[in-house]
Amino acid sequence: MRLNTIIEQIMNGLQKGSVYALVALGYTMVYGIVKLINFAHGDFIMVGAYTTIFSIPLLASIGCPLWLSIIVAILICSLLGILTEKVAYKPLRQSSRITSLITAIAISLLLQNLFAKLFTSSARMFTQVFIFDVPTIIIGTVKLHKVSILTCAISIVVMVCLQLFVKKTKMGKAMRAVSENPDAAKLMGISINRVVSFTFAIGAGLAGLAAIIFCSYSMSFDPYVGGSLGIKAFVAAVLGGIGSIPGAMLGGFLIGLSESMTQTFLSSEWVDIIVFSILIFILLFKPSGLMGKMTSEKV
Amino acid sequence: MKTPNRSMVSFGNVQKRYLLNFVSCFVLLVLVQVFMGNIHGTNYLVILTINCCISIILAVSLNLTTGCLGEMVLGHAAFMAIGAYASAILLKAVSMPALLGFFLGLILSFLMAGLIGFLVGIPALRLKGDYLAIITLGFGMIIKSLLEVLNFTGGAAGIDGIPRNTTVVLSVLMVMVVVAFLFTFMRSRFGRSILAIRENEIAAAATGVPVTQVKVLTFALSAALAGIAGALYAQYMRSISPATFHLDYSIEILVIVVLGGLGSFTGSILAATILVILPEFLRVFNDYRMIIYSVALIIIMLKKPGGILGRFEFSLSKLLIFIKTQFFRRKVKDHE
Amino acid sequence: MSEPLLQAKNIEISFGGLKAVSNFNLSIYPDELVGLIGPNGAGKTTAFNLLTGVYQPTHGDITLAGERLNGLPPHVLVKKGIVRTFQNIRLFRTLSVLDNVKVACGLRTTYHVLDAIFRTKRFWKVEQEMDEKAKSILKVFHLEEYAEEYAKNLPYGKQRQLEIARAIATDPKLLLLDEPAAGMNPTETQELMKTIEFIRSFYHLTILLIEHDMKLVMGICERLIVLDYGKIIAEGLPQAVANDPKVILAYLGDD
């Protein structure tokens, strides 16, 4: 197998991985604060993708630069996140985990089928590649797509910003406080509602960003792409240690790379087997994920 | 007024109660045979009933682990798949009379699914909560993918030409057997240990319950029962493929269990039945069916998070006693 | 003096870099009633966790009647005869009071799955035995009228008693009570003291208890062991220990 093919596949893997990483970041942030597996998270990407595809002609018609569609997608997704939280998750904060899980699943189904009804379930082509219309760098005989590098860079930058935000800012500290001990946080004057809404906004916004990147490498999508994307991203978050921001990034890239490598060296049928085997293997030796913290019940 | 009997095993007039239950089941079976025994296998009503039965078995078996033991697991459909494939492979390899084939297939499915459940459970149940959910999800995906990849399972195309040994009567019978088994199993020291683990795992261990052992065995039992559903499915549909048994199906079953009430087998039976029958009535809204379903699900979760029946269990004898006391009360009133 | 029932030699455990318990040496003789006291955070519950298999010591040996216990999980230790109650009550809340005790009864007498499914004679016989045993234990704690009530509905004091009742149903040799009087008023505490003395003689138990309530400790304990910062600082008869300056210092602080 030639080196440039391998490198190309690695780049592919990293690109896919950055999508997973961004979504995983959203999962992990939300989970860290409200201990909820937001099954609908993957579908936020789908919403982001559709938003982009519809906002581009809109922006064009009013004479705005087309890269604004990225901002629009992120905004719409954030709003969707906040809305979902207010309507469906907030009332269930005191209920059992499984109730929230089922509600999240219901929202996922709702989004998928709503969009299928509104926009038909046939695939859409994302033809506006112009945003990423950057030439490829050629080093020797190896083609490096600038897109891949760009998306990886974006993911890493986002992660670093997020990590800094959580560690250094007031809101970030509030988020960590709510994550550790909501009751104590309340007593310290932190508004749980604001923190949770904010978290969801960021998480969903990240999904919106991921949508753009997703569109950049996958030319078409339909209302159901959120499903498997969501699962893979969730696996990535757990792999890296759910609640850990660098962990989500690590997990995302790991999954993306494994998928790409398996596809190249084995076949696409083995992808799921390998990816989940890696997950199981790691969880058995490090039950709280690669970078997660082990929390045990005090006896 | 006598205090309600909340203990798991109650003494007293058990012989009478068991006889009552047994007779009603027998009567029901006879009725099913009389009205549906001779209808052709592809009849709409037959399809519906058998689907119902399969859903019920899947729901109650998942409820054992999720509701009674309190461990959320995703990937239940994979064990159904193992059961389905086990029956399919056996019946295609060896030809035998329908009834014999049915029960042999059933037993093999039960054992194979239980074995795999046991093997998966040993590593998986070391984890807790959401990590357990994701690892069982992972195992489920692996099993489904392996079925697609391996040759002797027919790959992505699956297996077809399986004899149709499942009949309505046999399906209903199996539902009764499985449900009766679960009721008697839970109302014993095994049930107490399982519920103890759900309530407080650390206290259960401190009371002598071998927690990991019980968890793994319960999980394996759940899987084995799902295998039975798979056997029914394979021997009815005549052809099976891995595509049926993917994550969405596992989630569907989980939704049924939660809707019916975690820990209530009666609830699972009701929810499974409703969720098989209702879509048929809503065929008019076919387009909006899933949207209505998801909105209804959200509303139910918001309003009744414990599920429709919570932890309630139906008891035929208690119902009769209730009717009797109501009737008796009215009679006394008339006399005064 | 007979052989010690429970012996802990040079026990040590660390969490992260912190030594929670060190140089822990303990001998409990049959039929003794020993109190383990010390200021908050001294490591008393940690010691209990070590003795019941919840934690494994990083150094040292624990033996029960000569048999080495290191590495055995909690449920095995219960079978060997060590049972405990918890500082924060850990009951099976949605089970009936009777069933809470019956879970413990299942340890010593058993029947097979098939017995349960087919409701054989053996099933009914064993269930009847468990029922009688559970009810007799509940009687000792004056809880028999609550038998069919959900455990979570019991008043606080009775919940604590239920936990002890459940522990006794495992037929233990050694009973470890973790702050059994926590949250109780003086009357309830008096009742508890009587109950502890009764069950000790009636069930031939050896008891080690953690307590902060000094009336109870001085009232019923034959011997005291004092922990501070994970180390034993004093041991002996209650009066002697109470007057030990080291102990007074530990409780009152260093100024």
Angle made by CA atoms A99, A100, A101, in degrees to the nearest 5? 90
- How many domains are contained in chain A? 1
Q: Does the pLDDT of residue A242 top 70, yes or no?
A: yes
Q: Is the model's pLDDT at A88 over the cut of 90?
A: no
With a cut of 60, say whether residue A66 has pLDDT above it. yes
pLDDT beneath 50, residues of chain B: 1, 336
- Alpha-carbon distances, residue B259 vs B33, B273, B279 (angstroms): 30, 12, 16
Q: What is the pLDDT of residue A52?
A: 83
In this structure, the answer to whether residues C62 and C184 fall within a common structural domain is yes
Task: State which residues form the domain around A145.
Answer: 24-224
Q: B69: part of which helix (H) or strand (E)? A: none
Burial profile B37-66: b = 16 or more Cβ within 10 angstroms, e = fewer: eeeeeeeeebbebbbbbbbbbbbbbbbbbb
> How near does any CA of chain C get to the CA of A276, in Å?
31
Helices (DSSP H) in chain C: which residue ranges?
Answer: 44-51, 74-80, 97-105, 113-117, 121-140, 156-168, 186-202, 214-220, 238-243, 245-252
Residues C181 and C252 in one domain: yes
* b/e C91-127 (16+ beta carbons within 10 angstroms → b): bbbebbbbbbbbbbbbbeeebeeebbbebeeebeebb
Buried b (16+ CB within 10 A) or exposed e, C69-84: beebebbebbbbbbbb
* Residue B134 contacts A, CB cutoff 8 Å: yes
Q: Is the pLDDT of residue C44 over 50?
A: yes
Buried b (16+ CB within 10 A) or exposed e, A87-101: ebbeebeeeeebbbb
Q: Which of A84-98, C155-169, C183-197 bottoms out in mean pLDDT, i.e. has the lowest?
A: A84-98
Tokens of residue A257, six digits: 């790379």
Token representation of residue B141: 């995906």
Eight-state DSSP code of residue B4: P
Which of C117, C138, C116, C143 is CA-nearest to residue C127? C116
What are C's interface residues with B at a Cβ cutoff of 8 A? 52, 54, 73-76, 78-79, 83-84, 86, 90-96, 98-99, 102-104, 106-107, 110-111, 113, 116-119, 123-124, 127-128, 130-131, 147-150, 166-167, 170
CB of C193 closer than 8 Å to CB of C216: yes
Q: What digits encode the pLDDT tens for the residues C107-140?
A: 888 898 888 889 889 999 999 999 999 999 999 9
Chain B closest-CA separation from residue A296 CA (Å): 10
pLDDT over 70 at C58, yes or no: yes
Average pLDDT for chain C: 91
**pLDDT > 90 in chain A, percent:** 13
Cβ–Cβ below 8 Å for C170 and B207: yes
Who's near C37: CB < 8 A, 6+ residues apart? C44, C210, C211, C212, C217, C224, C225, C226, C227
Taking the Cβ of residue C49 and every Cβ of chain A, the question of whether any pair is shorter than 8 Å is answered with: yes
Q: Which of C140, C170, C200 is the last residue of a domain?
A: C170
What mean pLDDT do residues A216-232 have?
A: 81
Domain count, chain C: 2
Q: And the tokens for B277?
A: 């029958």
Give CA angle at B292 (B290, B295), nearest 5°.
Answer: 105
Categorize the per-residue pLDDT at A295 as very low, low, confident or very high, splitting at 50, 70 and 90.
Answer: low
Using alpha carbons only, what angle is made at residue B192 by residues B215 and C90, rounded to the nearest 5 degrees? Answer: 85
Residue of A nearest to B129 (CA): A97
Q: Under CATH, what is the fold of the domain B43-335?
A: ABC transporter involved in vitamin B12 uptake, BtuC (1.10.3470)
The CATH number of whichever domain residue C231 belongs to comes to: 3.40.50.300
If asked whether residues C166 and C176 sit together in one domain, one would say no
Most confident among A53-67, A124-138, B289-303, C161-175 (mean pLDDT): C161-175
- Give the rounded percent of residues in chain A with a pLDDT score beyond 70: 90
Alpha helices in chain A (DSSP H): 3-34, 41-61, 68-84, 97-119, 146-168, 170-180, 182-187, 192-217, 225-240, 245-265, 271-285
Same domain? For C217 and C98 the reply is no
- Report which of residues A129 and C217 the model is more confident about: C217
Q: Is residue A82 part of a domain?
A: yes
Residue C73 domain boundaries: 1-81+172-255
B6 compared with C22, residue with greater pLDDT: C22
Q: Tell me, yes or no, whether C197 and C253 share the same domain.
A: yes
What pLDDT is recorded for position A55? Answer: 81
Optimal mutation site among C103, C105, C154, interface B, most CBs of chain B within 10 A: C103
User: CB distance B199–C74 less than 8 Å?
Assistant: no
Whether the pLDDT of residue A141 is over 70: the answer is no
**For chain C, percent of residues with pLDDT exceeding 90:** 68
From C129, C150, C170, give the residue that closes a domain.
C170
Contacts of residue A204, defined as CB under 8 A and 6 or more positions apart, other chains included, come to A26, A41, A44, A77, A78, A79, A80, A81, A82, A84
Last residue of a domain, one of C170, C193, C217: C170
Inter-chain residue contact C94 with B202, CB threshold 8 Å = no
Residues of A within 8 A of B144 (CB-CB) are: 272
Determine, yes or no, domain membership for A251: no
- Per-residue pLDDT, B79: 97
Q: Which of B137, B262, B294 sits opposite A110 (nearest CB)?
A: B294
pLDDT recorded at residue C178: 94
Residue A187 CA: distances (Å) to CA of A193, B11, C178, C220, C223 = 14, 51, 30, 41, 43
Element holding B141 (H helix, E strand):
helix B129-149
**Would you say residue A135 has pLDDT above 80?**
no
- The pLDDT-based confidence of C253 (bands split at 50, 70, 90) is low
Which of A163-177, A213-227, B183-197 is the least confident region?
A213-227
Cα dihedral A223, A224, A229, A231 sign = positive
Q: For residue A233, give Cα distances in angstroms to A42, A81, A155, A268, B287.
A: 8, 17, 14, 18, 30
Write down the pLDDT at residue A136: 57
Asked whether residue A241 is domain-assigned, the answer is: no
Q: Strand C6-15 and strand C18-28: pairing?
A: antiparallel
Using only C-alpha atoms, chain A has a radius of gyration, in whole angstroms, of 19
pLDDT at site B122 = 94
Q: What is the pLDDT of residues C187-232, one digit of tens each?
A: 989 999 999 999 999 999 999 999 989 889 999 999 999 999 889 9
Please give the C-alpha separations between residue B180 and each of B3, B61, B104, B307, in angstroms, as whole numbers: 26, 12, 21, 22
Q: Under 8 Å CB-to-CB from C135, ≥6 apart: which residues?
A: C98, C144, C147
pLDDT in tens, A36-64: 888 888 899 889 888 888 887 787 788 77
Tell me: do C69 and C177 sit in the same domain.
yes
pLDDT score for B172: 93
Query: Is some CB atom of chain A closer than 8 A to the CB atom of C86?
Result: yes
Residue B1 confidence (pLDDT):
43
Tokens 């509104």 belong to: A118
**Which pLDDT belongs to residue B331?**
62
DSSP A8-51: HHHHHHHHHHHHHHHHHHHHHHHHHHH----TTHHHHHHHHHHH
Residue C177, classed as helix, strand or coil, is strand
Provide the pLDDT for residue B321: 72
Residue with tokens 């056997």: B231
- Residues A244-275 as b/e (b if ≥16 CB within 10 A, e otherwise) read bbbbbbbbbbbbbbbbbbbbbeeeeebbbbbb
* pLDDT, tens only, C60-101: 999 998 899 998 999 999 999 999 999 899 999 999 999 999
Joined tokens for residue A151: 């998306």
Is there a single domain that holds both residue C164 and residue C177? no
> Is there a single domain that holds both residue C97 and residue C71?
no
Q: Which helix (H) or strand (E) holds B2?
A: none
Q: What average pLDDT does chain A have?
A: 83
Tell me the mean pLDDT in the region A159-163: 88
The one-character DSSP state at C150 is B
Q: Quote the pTM value.
A: 0.91
Taking one residue from B and the other from C, the number of pairs with CB-CB distance under 8 angstroms is 117
